[in-house]
Amino acid sequence: MAKYAKYLLTGAIVLVAIVAVLIKYWDYATNPWTRDGQVRAQVIQITPRVSGPIVKLPILDNQMVKAGDLLFEIDPRTFEASLEQARAQLDETGDNIQALFQQVEAAKAKVDESRAAVTQAQSSINEIRSEIEKDKAEYDRQRELLPRKATSQKAVDRAKANYEVSVEQRKTAVAGLAQAQASLLMSEANLAEAKANLGAAGDANASIRVARAAVRQAELDLEFTQVRAPVDGYITNLNLRLGSQAVANQPTLALVDVNSFWICGFFKETAIGKIGEGVKAVVTLMAYQDAPLEGYVDSIGWGIAQQDGSTGFELLPTVSPTFEWIRLAQRVPVRIHLTNVPKEVKLRVGTTCSVLVMTGTAGSEKEKRLVAVPRALQ
């Protein structure tokens, strides 16, 4: 009896194992999966903004760096000199603006003086006009009295002389007014020219803005000599050396953003209809086959490149006349967001993995357990 019990127990264990294997493989028979998966991440091309020889290189290839860490430094001496030159130019521009401002003030004072002279000349003409009228009336009266012997010829001559003097004074005053008006016109023209040379006042002045912008650009160029990490990440493909020439806008090294890893799984187009955004997924890295990772479908690609259809003769699409007897399903990229990556698992860009999307009939039970892709399917 004990012997039969032993056989029954062994058979039960084998049966349970077979059922477990069948259940596990049933998951892959009813749910989309692929062995064509890759680890992806944001790879930042570190590009200097200025050119020059490298004088500091505190990093090593494959080193972990934090955001803000110094990656390398370009010789700053040229840019320090440029900054000093820009600051000196700003000071000189400020002095020039101050001189032009003083010229404007002097021109304004000259205009005020000329206007006062015009007003004075007009007032003098008005006064002389009154004197002329009075002297002419006296001269006419004396001439009327002379035939009646009521005055002397001497008085008539004196009245005439006074009248003629007043007339000459009026001519002189009119000439003075014309000269004052001409001086006023010249003063106003000089004021307009001085204002044009000065431009806008204060911070709105174009020359000041240009000089300040040159200083700011020089400050930025000096700041750009220190190239720092924009994010936390890993240094990759470091080929720089001390003394080598860094060229502006030319990438020098790559930085893998440590917080940007995701999985790109390429699924057959026949399985895309079963995959939806937000659905849970299991990722098994080839390097860590016993440590499946949790994730979910973040997005599904909307297009892939086609081999035929490129523009040809007369802008018509080029289509190959060949026909494949076996139609192969296209692969569509599916982006998987990883929700929990253990510390012992090191993700590396470009490494391969298998991806299982947890859809189908298992439902809630699958959401509670994490199943690695069987090695036979990896």
Q: What is the pLDDT of residues 131-182, one digit of tens each?
A: 777 877 876 777 777 777 777 788 777 877 877 777 777 777 787 778 878 8
Q: How far apart are the first and last CA of the chain?
A: 44
Residues in Cβ contact with 254 at an 8 Å cutoff, skipping those fewer than 6 apart: 43, 44, 45, 46, 235, 236, 237
The verdict on 270 and 205 lying in the same domain is no
What CATH number does the domain containing 67 carry?
A: 2.40.50.100
Supply the pLDDT for residue 367: 45
> Is 16 inside any structural domain?
no
- Domain CATH code at residue 279: 2.40.30.170
Dist CA 106 CA 301 (whole Å): 73
Asked if the structure places residue 210 within a domain, the reply is yes
CB 146 within 8 A of CB 157: no
Question: Could you give the strand order of the β-sheet that contains 233-236, starting from the edge strand earlier in sequence?
Answer: 43-46, 253-257, 233-236, 64-65
- Judge whether 83 lies within some domain: yes
Same domain, 272 and 236: no
User: Is the domain of 282 the same as that of 357?
Assistant: yes
Residue with more model confidence, 371 or 132: 132
Average pLDDT over residues 276-289: 94
Q: Which runs of consecutive H residues, i.e. helices, occur in the chain? A: 2-30, 77-145, 153-198, 206-224, 364-368
In this prediction, residues 321-343 reach a mean pLDDT of 83
Q: Does residue 4 lie within any of the structural domains?
A: no
**Are residue 245 and residue 323 in the same domain, yes or no?**
no
* Residue 20 domain-assigned (yes or no): no
pLDDT at 303 (0 to 100): 87
Q: What is the pTM of this model?
A: 0.67
SS3 271: coil
Integer Cα distance of 274 and 287 in angstroms: 28
240 and 118 assigned to the same domain: no
Matching residue, tokens 């997005």: 299
pLDDT digit string, tens, across residues 180-219: 788 778 877 877 877 777 667 667 778 888 999 999 999 9
**Looking at the structure, do residues 176 and 269 belong to the same domain, yes or no?**
no
Q: Token pair of 10, please? A: 């062994």
Per-residue pLDDT, 323: 58
Average pLDDT of the chain?
82
Angle between helices 77-145 and 153-198 (to 10 degrees): 170
Paired tokens of 59:
């990093």
- The share of the chain scoring above pLDDT 90, in percent, equals 45
Verify that 137 and 235 share a domain, yes or no.
no
List phi, psi (to 5°) of 177.
-65, -45
Q: Both 145 and 67 in a single domain?
A: no
Same domain, 101 and 210: yes
The domain in which residue 346 lies consists of 30-41+259-377
Same-domain status, 103 and 120: yes
Residue 25 lies inside a defined structural domain of this protein: no
Q: Which pLDDT band, with edges at 50, 70 and 90, does 368 fall under? A: very low
Instruction: Give the per-residue pLDDT at 147.
Output: 79
Q: How many domains does the chain have?
A: 3
